[in-house]
Structure 1
Amino acid sequence: MRRLADALHDVALTLWVGGLWVIGYLVAPTLFATLSNDRQTAGLLAGRLFELMGWIGLACAVYLLLFVLLRGGTTALRRWNFWLLVLMLLLTAVSLFGVQPLLAQLKADALPREVMESVLRNRFAAWHGVSSILYLVQTLLGLLLVTSSGRATR
C-alpha cells in the first residue's frame, strides 16, 4: 500500500505541475497563435482549460497534503515543502474561485462585443494581469517543488 501511495504522490505532483506548464506555456499561446482571427474562441478554450487545470490542481493538492500529513505527522508542519503546497493550493483556489469567475463575468458583461473591444477592456486587462502573475508564481513554486532534493514533498 505504501508503494501505491508513493506512486500516486509522484503522479499527482507530475500531473499538477506538468499540467500547469503545458497549459499555460504551450497550449494557451498555441491557441492564440493558431486562432489569431478568432481571439474570442481562443480565449474561451484557454479559459476552460485553465479552469480544468484549477480543479485538477485542487484534487492533487488535497492528495499531496494528506500524503505529507499522514506520512510525516505534525513534523510535516515544520517543513517548507508542506507550506509550499499550501501556498500553491491557496493560489489555485484564488484563481479558480475568485479571478477566473470575475474574468468570465467581465466577458459576459461585454457581450455582444468582445471584452477587449468594450468599455470593460482596462478592467479585464488588469484582472488578466493579476491572473497571469498568480499563474507564474504558481508555476515557479511548482518547479521548486519538483526540483527540490529527494522526494519533493516527503
Structure 2
Amino acid sequence: MRTVTEALYRIFVVVWVGGLLAIGYLAAPVLFASLNDRTLAGEVAGKLFALIGWVGLAAGSYLSLFLIGRWRAAVFKRAVFWLVLLMLGMTAAQLFGIQPLMAQLKLDALPREVMESVLRDRFATWHGVASILYLVESLLGLWLVVWTERGLR
C-alpha cells in the first residue's frame, strides 16, 4: 500500500505544479494573444485559474496528509511540509480572497467593463497582487518538484 500512496504523492506534485505552469505561463498568455476580445480572454483565464486553484487545494491537502502520515510529529521539522503548507495557503488566498474580490470589482463596474470604469486602478492593483502571488507559488512549486524525494525519505 505504501507504493500507492507514494505514487499518489508524486502524481499530485506533478499535477499541481504542472497545472500552475501550464495555465499561468502557457494557456493564459495564448488566450490573450489569440483572442481579440480581452474580456473573453480574461473570463476564460479566470476560470482556468479557479480550476487550478481547486486542484491545488486537493493536491496540497493530500500532500499535507501524506507528509503528516509519513513523518508524524517530526513533520514540523521537515522543510518540504512547510513548503506544501505555504503553497496551500497561497492557493487558498487566491481562490477565496483575491479571485472573489476581483469578481466583485467586475460586478461593481457594470454596465461598463472594469478596465473602463473608475474601479480600474483597484482592479489593476489586485491583478498585480494576484500575479505576484501566482509567480511566487509557481517558483515554490518548482522547488517542491526538486524536493519531492525529501517527502519520501
> Does residue 75 of the first structure (1) align with residue 90 of the second (2)?
no
Distance 1:97 1:116 in 2: 22
* Counterpart in the other structure of 1:15: 15
Distance 1:91 1:153 in 2: 20
User: What SS does the aligned partner of 1:17 have?
Assistant: helix
The structure 1 segments of at least 4 consecutive aligned residues displaced by more than 6 Å after TM superposition are none
**1:56-135 correspondence runs (5 A):** 56-135=55-134
Identity within the alignment, %: 59
Matched residue count? 152
Which sections of structure 2, spanning at least 5 residues, go unmatched? none
Alpha-carbon distance, 1:153 to partner: 2.5
Give the structure, 1 or 2, with the largest relative contact order (CA under 8 Å, sep 6 or more).
2
RMSD: 0.9
Distance 1:152 1:25 in 2: 27
Task: Verify the 8 A CA contact 1:88 1:138 in the aligned structure 2.
Answer: yes
Task: Verify the 8 A CA contact 1:146 1:152 in the aligned structure 2.
Answer: no
Alpha-carbon distance, 1:48 to partner: 0.6
Distance 1:22 1:11 in 2: 16
Letter in 2 for 1:23: I
User: What SS does the aligned partner of 1:112 have?
Assistant: coil
Which sections of structure 1, spanning at least 5 residues, go unmatched? none
TM-score by length of 2: 0.96
Distance 2:150 2:19 in 1: 17
* Counterpart in the other structure of 2:149: 151
Task: Verify the 8 A CA contact 1:31 1:46 in the aligned structure 2.
Answer: yes
TM-score by length of 1: 0.96
Letter in 2 for 1:68: L
Alpha-carbon distance, 1:71 to partner: 0.8
